[in-house]
Structure 1
Amino acid sequence: MLSTDVVVVGLSAMGSASLYQLARRGARVIGIDRHVPPHIYGSSHGETRITRQAIGEGTAYVPLVLRSHQIWRELEAQTGASLFLPCGGLILSSPVGEALHHGKPQFLPRTIQAARQFGIAHEVLDAAQIEARFSQFGLKGDETGYYEPGAGLLYPERCVQVQLELAQRLGASVHTGERVQRLIPQADGVQVETDKNRYAAAKVVVSAGAWAADLLGGPFARVLRVYRQVLFWLEAQDPQTYAPGRFPIFIWMFGSSEGEHFYGFPQVAQGVKVATEQSRVSTHLDRVERTVLEAETQAFLERYVQGRLRDLGPACLRSATCLYTSTADGDFILDHHPDSERILVASACSGHGFKHSAAVGEIMAELALQGKSPLDLSSFRLHQRPAWA
C-alpha cells in the first residue's frame, strides 16, 4: 500500500489545480484519473471556456474568479504558455424577461450589481450602442448589454496540462488509466482503493466531476445530476469579422423560457464556437451519447443562430459533447464529506466552474493542509444544496 499526504481523485479543471497547489506547498501528493487528462470525456475540453469577473451567479464567486485570473497570469509567466485571452465579454438580455442562467434569475442585473460592488470595469449599453460596436449581432432593438473589457476566454486543455506538468516537476505523482473504486475513511486518514492499487492518505480531494456522485454516494447522489451538452463550431463567411478584438465572448438571453439563451466565442482556431445549455434531460456516464446528430445541428442553427449572428453558418465545421455536473440551484460544493472531515469535495461546476478552478485548487490545498481557507466558503456547503425533485 502506497502512503502519501493527499490523494487527488480526478485531474481535470479543479483536480489539476488542486494537485499543482498541493505540490507547490510541498505536500506529498498523488493524482489519480481513470482517463489521461486533458481528455474529452468530462467537462474540461472543447478548446475554450468563458471567463468573466462580475459573476451573475452570485457575488460569493467574485473573489474566486479574481484570484483565478491572478493564478492564470502567474502560470503564464512561469511557463510561457498562453492560457487566458482577455478579448472582452458581452452579456445581452431583453426586457421580456430572462431565462434562468445557471439556476439564477435576473442574471444581467445581478452581473451589473456585482461589477459595481467590486469595482470591476464595465459599461452598460443599449441596443444601438451594441449594434454600433458589434454589428455581428442581429438585435431586435430592445436589448440591454453589459460589456466587461477584462472578460475573455481560457484554453482549458492547456490550463489542465500546464498545471499537471508543473505539479509533477514539483514532485507530484500522476496515475492515469486508473479507476478509484472506494474511499474508506479511517481514524487517521483515508484508504483509497482503485482497480490497480491501494493508497493510504491523510486527506483525499475528490474533484471527479461527472463521476463524483457514483463514487461519493449518499447525499451527493441526491444533489448532483449530469447533463449532456453540445458544442458547435460554425463557419464564418469572413473569419476576421469574428476575430478576437472585433468580437467578444457573449452570453445572450433572448427570452424567459427554458433554453432561450446561448453563448459563444471569437474565432481562435477553425470556426466560431457557439453553444447553448440544457437541464431538461439528465444522463449517466454509461449512457452518454457522444455523437452529435445532424438533426441537433440543424435545430441549433434554426433556433439560436439564424437572425442573431450575421454571416455565420450554415456550415458546421465540427461538433462535440461535454458534460455538466450540476446542482439544482447551480451552485458549487466545496466541502468535506459528511462521513469524514478527511475527504474534501470540489464538485458540481454546474456549467460555470472552469473560470474559478485555479482558485478552487488553491482552496482545496489550503483545506487539506491547513484545515481552513481565507476565503468565505459558507455559500458552498453541501447541506445548502437542495436535492433534485
Structure 2
Amino acid sequence: MHYDVIVIGLGAMGAATLYQLARRGVRVAGVDRYAPPHDQGSSHGDTRITRQAVGEGAAYVPLALNSQRIWRELEAHSGEALFEACGMLMLSSSQAPTRGHGTPDFGGETAALAERFGIEHSLLDAAGVRARFPQFGGFGDQATGYYEPGAGYVRPERAIDVQLKLAEALGAVLHTNTLVEAIESDAGGVRVQTSSGMLTADKAIVCAGMWTGKLLGASVEDLLKVCRQQLVWFELDEPERFAAGSPVYILLHGAADIDSCYGFPPLPGENAIKIATEQYLEGCDPDTVNRSVSQADIDALYDAHVAGRLLGVSRRVLKSKVCTYTITPDFNFIIDAHPQMANVTLVSACSGHGFKHSAGIGEALAMHHCNEPGAVDLSAFSLARFRS
C-alpha cells in the first residue's frame, strides 16, 4: 500500500502526529524500531512536566496550551487519566537571574510570558514559599518562587499509548519492532526501507528522536547532540510534606544550565518523588547508551540537589531510569523540511523540553499538511537560523 504520509518514530511527537493525521482521514503509517510506549528513547519515566508560560520562548506557549487542551480531549475519548494539573513551582535560591535551557533569566522570562499571555500565576518570596510549600523549606531567605496553577504533569507512556490506539482505530497502520534502514526521496515521493520491507508514501515526517541524525545525514546530524540523563525516585521519610496539593517543581540554584533539577509529587500508591537532572556536556551514541544509574551518581544527585533543600526526602531509592535529550546548539526545536531530501520533514530535536508541546505539534503538523486554517506558526523552529 502507498501512503500519503509515513511517520518515522512513534514517541511523543510521532504518536501525536500519527493520531492527528489519522483523525483527518490521511492515509498514514507509523514505524518504530521498538513497540511504543517503551523506555529506550526520551518519552518515558511515568511523568513529564507541562507548563503554560514556557520560559524558552513565546513561540512555545500556544503549543503548550493546545497540548493541554488535546490531552483533555484524549482523556474524554479514552477514559484514561493523562494530565494532572497539580501546579508548578519554579524556585530559585537567589534573586539573581538563573539559566535554564539556554535562557539566561529562565524564571524572569517565564513570568514575563505569563503576563504577556494572561496566564494565571503568582510570585512568591522566601516566606511565601515556606508557608505554602513546606517541603521546600531548605531554601534560604533569598529564594524566589514562580507558581503556575495550570501547570502539572502528563503521563507520557499513557499519552503515547492512547494516541497510537486511537490512530489505529481511525485507519493508521503501525509497523512496530521495525527498524528503518534507509530513507530515499525525490520529487515523486519517499521510499522507506525497513527491516520488514519497503514502504512508500508521498511524504515522510521523521520524529526519530536521538536516532534522527543517523537517519537524515550530516546536514542534520551535525546540529544534534545526544545527551544521557538520569531519573531517580527517592523514598520519603515525611510523606505528609508532599500531601495533596504538592506541585511539580523546577529548582534553580546556580548560574549554569546544569545547576538545576526538576521533580514531581508522589504518584498514587508510591511513597517516593521522582527527581531528574540535566546535563549537556557529555554526548553519547544512541545505540550504546548506558542505561544503568550508578550509586555514585545517585549520591551526587542527592547531595547537589536534595540535601538541605527538599525536606523529608530520604536517600533510599525506589528505582532509577535513564533517558536521552537530543540537543540543538540553541536548545530550541527543529521542525522544518529537510534541506536536501524532498518531501521529508524533520520534527525535533526537542532539546529536553518537548513532551509538553508534543500534542500541539502533532496537531499543527496535521493542520499544515491538510491546509487547514489557524494552524500554529512553526517558523520559529526552522533550520534557517543555523544557516544565518
Do these two structures clear the TM 0.5 threshold for a shared fold by scoring above it? yes
Q: Is the 8 A contact 1:35 1:178 kept in 2?
A: yes
Report the equivalent of 2:339. Answer: 338
Inter-partner Cα distance in structure 2 for 1:339 and 1:279? 28
Report the equivalent of 1:228. Answer: 228
Deviation (angstroms), 1:344 = 1.0
Number of paired residues? 385
Q: Any idea what SS the aligned residue of 1:274 has? A: strand
Deviation (angstroms), 1:385 = 3.9
Q: Is the 8 A contact 1:244 1:267 kept in 2?
A: no
Identity %: 48
TM-score using structure 2 length: 0.96
Q: Any idea what SS the aligned residue of 1:43 has? A: coil
Inter-partner Cα distance in structure 2 for 1:351 and 1:380? 15
Report the equivalent of 1:62. Answer: 61
Taking structure 1 as reference, are residues 372 and 186 closer, same or farther at Cα in structure 2, changes over 3 Å only? farther
Inter-partner Cα distance in structure 1 for 2:42 and 2:10? 11
Taking structure 1 as reference, are residues 280 and 373 closer, same or farther at Cα in structure 2, changes over 3 Å only? farther
Report the equivalent of 2:213. Answer: 213
Report the equivalent of 1:163. Answer: 163
1:27 aligns to 2:23 (yes or no) = no
Report the equivalent of 2:384. Answer: 383
1:323 aligns to 2:324 (yes or no) = yes
Deviation (angstroms), 1:96 = 6.0
Report the equivalent of 1:93. Answer: 92
TM-score using structure 1 length: 0.96
Which letter does structure 2 place at the counterpart of 1:14?
A: M
Deviation (angstroms), 1:219 = 1.8
Deviation (angstroms), 1:177 = 0.8
1:78 aligns to 2:77 (yes or no) = yes
Q: Any idea what SS the aligned residue of 1:223 has? A: coil
Of stretches 44-53 and 367-376 in structure 1, the one that deviates more from structure 2 is: 367-376
Q: Which ranges in structure 2 are unaligned for 5 or more consecutive residues?
A: none
Inter-partner Cα distance in structure 1 for 2:180 and 2:306? 41
Q: Deviations over 1:142-164 (max 9, x none)?
A: 01111001110000000000000
Q: Deviations over 1:175-214 (max 9, x none)?
A: 1111111111122211111121111101111000001000
Taking structure 1 as reference, are residues 156 and 304 closer, same or farther at Cα in structure 2, changes over 3 Å only? same
Taking structure 1 as reference, are residues 373 and 217 closer, same or farther at Cα in structure 2, changes over 3 Å only? farther
Q: Is the 8 A contact 1:124 1:145 kept in 2?
A: yes
Report the equivalent of 1:279. Answer: 280
Report the equivalent of 2:266. Answer: 267
Report the equivalent of 1:146. Answer: 146
Inter-partner Cα distance in structure 1 for 2:376 and 2:153? 24
Inter-partner Cα distance in structure 1 for 2:244 and 2:203? 43
Q: Is the 8 A contact 2:102 2:257 kept in 1?
A: no
Aligned Cα root-mean-square deviation (Å): 1.5
Which letter does structure 2 place at the counterpart of 1:100?
A: R
Deviation (angstroms), 1:326 = 1.0
Q: Is the 8 A contact 1:127 1:142 kept in 2?
A: yes
1:307 aligns to 2:303 (yes or no) = no
Report the equivalent of 1:104. Answer: 103
Q: Is the 8 A contact 1:367 1:373 kept in 2?
A: no
Deviation (angstroms), 1:365 = 1.5
Q: Any idea what SS the aligned residue of 1:283 has? A: coil
Which letter does structure 2 place at the counterpart of 1:320?
A: K
Q: Deviations over 1:289-346 (max 9, x none)?
A: 1111111111111111000000101111111000001111110011110123411111
Runs of 4+ in 1 over 4 A off after TM superposition: none
1:291 aligns to 2:292 (yes or no) = yes
Q: Is the 8 A contact 1:232 1:320 kept in 2?
A: yes
Q: Any idea what SS the aligned residue of 2:251 has? A: strand
Report the equivalent of 1:46. Answer: 45
Taking structure 1 as reference, are residues 362 and 190 closer, same or farther at Cα in structure 2, changes over 3 Å only? same
Report the equivalent of 1:135. Answer: 134
Q: Deviations over 1:336-380 (max 9, x none)?
A: 101234111111111110000001111222233339872222210
Of stretches 359-368 and 76-85 in structure 1, the one that deviates more from structure 2 is: 359-368
Report the equivalent of 2:368. Answer: 367
Q: Is the 8 A contact 1:98 1:253 kept in 2?
A: no
Which letter does structure 1 place at the counterpart of 2:252?
A: M
Of stretches 100-109 and 361-370 in structure 1, the one that deviates more from structure 2 is: 361-370
Report the equivalent of 2:122. Answer: 123
Inter-partner Cα distance in structure 2 for 1:386 and 1:68? 30
Q: Any idea what SS the aligned residue of 1:285 has? A: coil
